[in-house]
Structure 1
Amino acid sequence: MTETHASMTVDRTGAVAQVTVTGPGKGNAMGPDFWRELPLVFDALDADPEVRAVVVAASGRNFSYGLDLAAMSGVLGSLFSGEAGLAGPRTGFLENLKMMQRSISAVADCRKPVVAAVQGRCIGGGVDLISACDIRFASADASFSVREVKVGIVADLGSLQRLPAIIGDGHLRELAMTGKDVDAARAERIGLVNEVFADAEAVLAAAHACAAEIAANPPLVVQGIKAVLEDERADRVAGGLRYVGAWNSAFMASEDLGEAVTAVLSRREPVFRGR
């Protein structure tokens, strides 16, 4: 049976559930519906005693283009207003950001192990999402980018906090400071993904095979393993999310941010001036 939401679907087959991101933005870009629905879906899966593992997938050719800038203009809009320097707009931005952080954290906090199956492009918020998963597989055509620097933003939804334990500090600094694309082969070399498969069909099958193998083990023991592993980094991740939220609320409003968003919407290269 398929449970349909505005931005995702949920299918339960035996002990494994599949959450499929479906848009509605181009390239499964993450708009208001995604941020509202993600924690509701994962809270329900966490509470479902029949579900022992979860696969996160995406429809279409690409996993996700990340934050839907046009659809989320209401969240960023206060930072472009003439009152952007006042406490009210900055506080409003921070509250919206905390909501989005909690959405991604709902995936990490789910007691059931989560396996990501990535095909095509996985950008910005897409990397935040898979960073919150326990295991990541990719198709050979997948590419990954911590792209926020390109749009005048310090990545603030979990990549900077969760990726050090996954790919190491040096690789993360390179990805976050350049905003470059890395292909599936390099993603596997640096540990961002566990294994690479030929195509989208193969990677989804591999993710389900892994989830089924996990689901066949004693569920409380599996959940205990995840709880112990998460405990080691929980305080560091939570502290990092608080800090980046405060930092972006204080410093993100800039001419460079406005230039970045305008350039993206106009499909041209931005010119940053450090103002």
Structure 2
Amino acid sequence: MELKVTRVEVDDHGVATVTLNRPDRGNSWTGRMHAEYRWIMAELERDERVRVAVLTGAGRAFCVGADTKALSSYVGGGGYDGGLREEVANPGYGVRPEFDADVSWQLGLRFPLICAVNGACAGVALAMAAYADIRFGMVDAKITTATAKLAMPVEYGLSWILPRIIGLTHAADVLLSGRILRAQELGGMGFFNEVLGPDEFHDAVTGYARMLARLSPTATTVTKRQLYDDLLASNPAASVDRSKELISELMAHPDYGEGVRALVEKRAPEFGR
């Protein structure tokens, strides 16, 4: 696919950086961006070099939500128009049926997804950040659901994921009010793993991504699966029993032997691709 509103790079550490690339429009979301983003992620899932992905925005915004021209066209239309008639890729699908939908498919990706919210983040962009595994926020970035002020309901499963990240009370405030929050306030609620200034933001995100990329990709995928499987379950005993099964499976994997040798030899492990 020809990329017109996104770009992607994979570094030598196995970190893929996906950038929403409409800086003149605040990286606002369109049908074209939707299709390109899903196509990129499907390609990254097939690329064995990729161990971690980072999602960010070009320029000073992360993504200001749906393009205002598109929003105007929806008035009286009774629903969203995806903007493209061609079939889109389905990365992350097939892991669990609960993940097989817009945005929530990010939970099914085999690698960790880090969302680097480098500026304004609204609407669908907030959902994309919420369904990432790790989140970094830029100091003073403005963040909002936007829907309350448009007389719209909660979008893209935020009513499911947000209470699980920041708790019911905070989620009710964010979703019902639609008010604009700064990254620092959302960070205090637990939405962001870390909120950073512009001088340290890029290096911190890159350093964290590369740290994850050095870990066993097999164990990382298994751990991500455990995390969301248990989020959808309510049986701690089943979680314990499943973890014991996975311990036996991963002990037979070459990465476990390398991890033990590295520990004994007091060096960094070198896990296979």
| TM-score when normalising by structure 2 | 0.73
| Number of the residue aligned with 2:230 | 232
| Number of the residue aligned with 1:49 | 48
Instruction: Decide whether the 8 Å contact of 1:42 with 1:106 is kept in 2.
Output: no
Tell which deviates more after alignment, 107-116 or 21-30. 21-30
The one-letter code matched in structure 2 to 1:207 is V
| Number of the residue aligned with 2:62 | 63
Question: C-alpha separation between the residues in 2 aligned to 1:223 and 1:175?
Answer: 31
Instruction: Decide whether the 8 Å contact of 1:137 with 1:207 is kept in 2.
Output: yes
1:130 corresponds to 2:129: yes
The one-letter code matched in structure 1 to 2:171 is L
Q: How does 1:227-266 map to 2 (within 5 A)?
A: 227-233=225-231
The one-letter code matched in structure 1 to 2:11 is T
The runs of 5 or more residues in structure 1 that have no matched partner are 85-92, 237-275
Question: C-alpha separation between the residues in 1 aligned to 2:232 and 2:32?
Answer: 27
Kindly indicate which of the two structures has a greater share of residues assigned to helix: 1
| Number of the residue aligned with 2:186 | 187
Instruction: Decide whether the 8 Å contact of 2:30 with 2:82 is kept in 1.
Output: no
Q: How does 1:194-233 map to 2 (within 5 A)?
A: 194-199=193-198, 202-233=200-231
How far did 1:48 drift?
A: 1.3
How far did 1:25 drift?
A: 6.4
Question: C-alpha separation between the residues in 2 aligned to 1:126 and 1:25?
Answer: 17
1:45 to 1:174, Cα distance in 2 relative to 1, 3 A? same
Question: C-alpha separation between the residues in 2 aligned to 1:187 and 1:50?
Answer: 33
3-state secondary structure, aligned to 1:63: strand
The one-letter code matched in structure 1 to 2:140 is D
Instruction: Decide whether the 8 Å contact of 1:118 with 1:203 is kept in 2.
Output: no
Instruction: Decide whether the 8 Å contact of 2:123 with 2:155 is kept in 1.
Output: no
How far did 1:206 drift?
A: 1.2
Q: Which has the higher contact order (CA 8 A, sep 6+)?
A: 1
How far did 1:105 drift?
A: 2.6
| Number of the residue aligned with 1:105 | 104
Instruction: Decide whether the 8 Å contact of 1:142 with 1:184 is kept in 2.
Output: yes
Instruction: Decide whether the 8 Å contact of 1:38 with 1:106 is kept in 2.
Output: no
Instruction: Decide whether the 8 Å contact of 2:17 with 2:56 is kept in 1.
Output: yes
Instruction: Decide whether the 8 Å contact of 2:23 with 2:61 is kept in 1.
Output: no
Based on CA coordinates, which of the two structures has the bigger radius of gyration? 2
1:157 corresponds to 2:156: yes
RMSD, matched Cα: 2.7
Tell which deviates more after alignment, 154-163 or 206-215. 154-163
Question: C-alpha separation between the residues in 1 aligned to 2:182 and 2:23?
Answer: 25
For residues 187-224 of structure 1, what are the alpha-carbon distances to aligned partners after superposition, in whole Å with 9 as ceiling and x for unaligned? 1110111111111x522221111111111111110000
1:20 to 1:184, Cα distance in 2 relative to 1, 3 A? same
The one-letter code matched in structure 2 to 1:216 is R
Instruction: Decide whether the 8 Å contact of 2:31 with 2:82 is kept in 1.
Output: no
| Number of the residue aligned with 2:143 | 144
Question: C-alpha separation between the residues in 2 aligned to 1:108 and 1:58?
Answer: 20
Tell which deviates more after alignment, 139-148 or 24-33. 24-33
3-state secondary structure, aligned to 1:136: strand
| Number of the residue aligned with 2:19 | 20
Instruction: Decide whether the 8 Å contact of 1:139 with 1:202 is kept in 2.
Output: no
Question: C-alpha separation between the residues in 2 aligned to 1:4 and 1:165?
Answer: 37
Q: How does 1:71-110 map to 2 (within 5 A)?
A: 71=70, 76=74, 80=76, 93=79, 102-110=101-109
**Aligned pair count?**
219
For residues 42-83 of structure 1, what are the alpha-carbon distances to aligned partners after superposition, in whole Å with 9 as ceiling and x for unaligned? 111122111000111101111111111413556x35xx15xx
The runs of 5 or more residues in structure 2 that have no matched partner are 91-99, 235-273
3-state secondary structure, aligned to 1:170: helix
Percent of aligned positions that are identical: 26
How far did 1:110 drift?
A: 1.2
1:33 corresponds to 2:32: yes
Question: C-alpha separation between the residues in 1 aligned to 2:124 and 2:70?
Answer: 14
3-state secondary structure, aligned to 1:10: strand
The one-letter code matched in structure 2 to 1:229 is L
Instruction: Decide whether the 8 Å contact of 2:124 with 2:155 is kept in 1.
Output: no
| TM-score when normalising by structure 1 | 0.72
Question: C-alpha separation between the residues in 1 aligned to 2:10 and 2:214?
Answer: 15
